[in-house]
Amino acid sequence: MKQTRYEQVANKIVTLIQNGALQEGDKIPSIRQLSRELGLSVNTIKEAYWRLEDKNYIAAVPQSGFYVKKQSVLGWDSTDKADAAQSRMLNPQEVNFCQVYAAFKEYGESQSKVNLGIAGLDSEFWPTEKMARFMGEAVRQPDVEALNYLMPPGYLPLRQQIARQGLAAGLNLSPEEIIVTNGCHEAVFLSLMALCKPGDTVVFESPIYFSLFHMLKQLDLRVIEIPSHDGEGISLKTLEFVLESQEVKAMYTISNFNNPMGFSMPSWKKKKLVRLLAGYDIPLIEDDVYGDIAFKDRPDTCKGQDKSGRVLYCSSFSKTIAPGLRIGWIAPGKAYDKILEIKTLMNICATSIEQIAVARFLKEGGYDRHLRRLRKKVGQAVRQMRQAVLAHFPKGTRVTDPDGGFLLWVELPHDVDTTLVYRQAMKKNILIAPGPLFTLKGKFSHCMRLNAGMWNPDIEKAVAMTGQLCQAQVPKQRDFPVCPTPQFQPPPDPRGEGRPAAFG
């Protein structure tokens, strides 16, 4: 499709940003200046800058001019059809997997030595000794039949502890609002089962955790992907357009330290989102499984903003204690009765030993201390992984800098096809998660997600090897696309080392 003039201008600037030629904080030419330089009307440049602003590439500073904003790593660029008014992308679609998924699944089942494709922590970080002790005690403790059913909503002392922990996230839950599940995954699946019937439409930010697609497909649901912007999550403008024009049954979001993009939705946006959805009477499935792994302040939640019971808050101890426990929970608001019913008919209840042991660990086992230490260790692993990516990946690569969680979203130069990298890496016994896994739109082909929840020499080597595979796809003499006039050449690479730029 032919681009309009203002689209051409906007795209050139985006390319400079994506190349690393224009960096965060750089001033770009004023509207008048660029209008003169390119011989285009002021209105055309204005339109282009407006688009760039809307997409959060640049920001206007009053009395000063336009500056490149701190960038999140996006596959959605300014040529996307994401603009609500013109978009055909925003119709509901069936879930049809890209071929790469089939291969990814196959590989996931094999025993990969270096798995950068999962979302998990080093087992060294787990409180194994503690859990062994509490589990042993749980089996023997006289006051609870630890081998009997602990029926939904679940072991009361555990729900009490979950409610207490929630305070740190700004949640004010009572144990009576909480249902214990077999992990957060099941909590989300239960939510979808409770809220939707086959053929219904679910919306969420894109890119998104790929397992969601499997649940949606199994339940025969349709989806609308809505672009995420600038480290703040879903575009509310686009969401509103969709809610206005389509019949939507539920929204799903990973609100904090998002998988795969790492952002936490800011507080004001959570508030706005909850209000917006309430206006359309649409429930929100909030997946906050990463929220407790905060390197600085523990971010708040959408649930905390919810007064109408429309938020189904899902989380688990899979990231903060250990995944094999399969202990998660849901605070489903108005959907409580329905979720309780489905949980029971699905598999009766969560295992008892784990419910009792986790409750004990939270109450008297120094869980808070464990969490503080864990955050520190994870933060360190993430920093190391990030440095390795910056060191080994091609120039022009951008990588997120999350304030929590342990997932890095990497955006490579557009030459790089991460599906190809993924296949080549597989042969070297390395698993990565290529960008196209996180969408049904065939996008993010130059992106990948890396698991930074563990760090050791093998992983470092694997990152370096992955970087080499990417590098091999970048043309030796890159011709940077430049603006048509010499006045607006890309500035020289400040580090001059062919290293990728680090974006926040």
Binding-site ranges for a copy of itself (CB under 8 A): 109, 123, 126, 128, 131-132, 135-136, 139-140, 145-151, 181-183, 185-186, 189, 193, 197-198, 211, 214-215, 218, 220, 321-326, 341-342, 344-354
Give the three-state DSSP class for 239.
helix
Q: Are 104 and 422 in contact (CB under 8 A)?
A: yes
Residue 121, beta-bridge partner list: none
Q: Compare residues 4 and 347 and give the one whose CB is closer to a copy of itself.
A: 347
User: Minimum distance between the CB of residue 157 and a copy of itself, rounded to whole angstroms?
Assistant: 16
Q: Compare residues 129 and 479 and give the one whose CB is closer to a copy of itself.
A: 129
Return the structure tokens found at 55: 């997409």
Return the structure tokens found at 204: 């969420």
Residue 472, beta-bridge partner list: none
User: Minimum distance between the CB of residue 110 and a copy of itself, rounded to whole angstroms?
Assistant: 11
User: Minimum distance between the CB of residue 264 and a copy of itself, rounded to whole angstroms?
Assistant: 24
Q: Compare residues 58 and 180 and give the one whose CB is closer to a copy of itself.
A: 180
Give per-residue burial for 19-41: e unless 16+ CB within 10 Å, then b: bbbbbeeeebbebeebbebbebe
Nearest to residue 204, comparing CAs of 234, 231, 237, 232? 234
User: Minimum distance between the CB of residue 493 and a copy of itself, rounded to whole angstroms?
Assistant: 43
Backbone angles phi, psi at 159, to 5 degrees: -65, -35
User: Minimum distance between the CB of residue 345 and a copy of itself, rounded to whole angstroms?
Assistant: 4
User: Minimum distance between the CB of residue 437 and a copy of itself, rounded to whole angstroms?
Assistant: 14
User: Minimum distance between the CB of residue 439 and a copy of itself, rounded to whole angstroms?
Assistant: 18
Exposed, middle or buried by CB within 10 Å (0-12, 13-18, 19+), for 433?
buried
Q: Compare residues 156 and 464 and give the one whose CB is closer to a copy of itself.
A: 156
Q: Return the amino acid letter for 89.
A: M
Give the three-state DSSP class for 173.
coil
Give the three-state DSSP class for 134.
helix
Nearest to residue 501, comparing CAs of 14, 22, 11? 22
Q: Compare residues 182 and 400 and give the one whose CB is closer to a copy of itself.
A: 182
User: Minimum distance between the CB of residue 230 and a copy of itself, rounded to whole angstroms?
Assistant: 31
Nearest to residue 117, comparing CAs of 461, 484, 453, 469? 453
User: Minimum distance between the CB of residue 186 and a copy of itself, rounded to whole angstroms?
Assistant: 4
Q: Compare residues 181 and 418 and give the one whose CB is closer to a copy of itself.
A: 181
Return the structure tokens found at 153: 């909503």
Q: Compare residues 319 and 386 and give the one whose CB is closer to a copy of itself.
A: 319
How many other C-beta atoms are found inside a 10 Å radius of the C-beta of residue 281? 8
Q: Compare residues 274 and 321 and give the one whose CB is closer to a copy of itself.
A: 321
Q: Compare residues 169 and 339 and give the one whose CB is closer to a copy of itself.
A: 339
Cα four-point dihedral sign 216, 108, 409, 258 = positive
Q: Compare residues 132 and 472 and give the one whose CB is closer to a copy of itself.
A: 132
User: Minimum distance between the CB of residue 216 and a copy of itself, rounded to whole angstroms?
Assistant: 9
d(CA 36, CA 59): 21
Question: What is the 3-state secondary structure of 340-382?
Answer: HHHHHHHHCCCCHHHHHHHHHHHHHCCHHHHHHHHHHHHHHHH
d(CA 242, CA 89): 10
d(CA 217, CA 210): 11
Q: Are 431 and 425 in contact (CB under 8 A)?
A: yes
DSSP label of 185: H
Rg over CA atoms, the chain: 24
User: Minimum distance between the CB of residue 456 and a copy of itself, rounded to whole angstroms?
Assistant: 15
Q: Compare residues 349 and 408 and give the one whose CB is closer to a copy of itself.
A: 349
User: Minimum distance between the CB of residue 132 and a copy of itself, rounded to whole angstroms?
Assistant: 4
d(CA 91, CA 146): 49
Residue 260 preceded by cis peptide, ω within 30? yes
Give the three-state DSSP class for 27.
strand
User: Minimum distance between the CB of residue 290 and a copy of itself, rounded to whole angstroms?
Assistant: 16
Q: Compare residues 284 and 350 and give the one whose CB is closer to a copy of itself.
A: 350
Nearest to residue 387, comparing CAs of 463, 494, 281? 463
Q: Compare residues 76 and 406 and give the one whose CB is closer to a copy of itself.
A: 406
d(CA 197, CA 220): 8
Beta strands in 207-275 (DSSP E): 222-227, 250-254
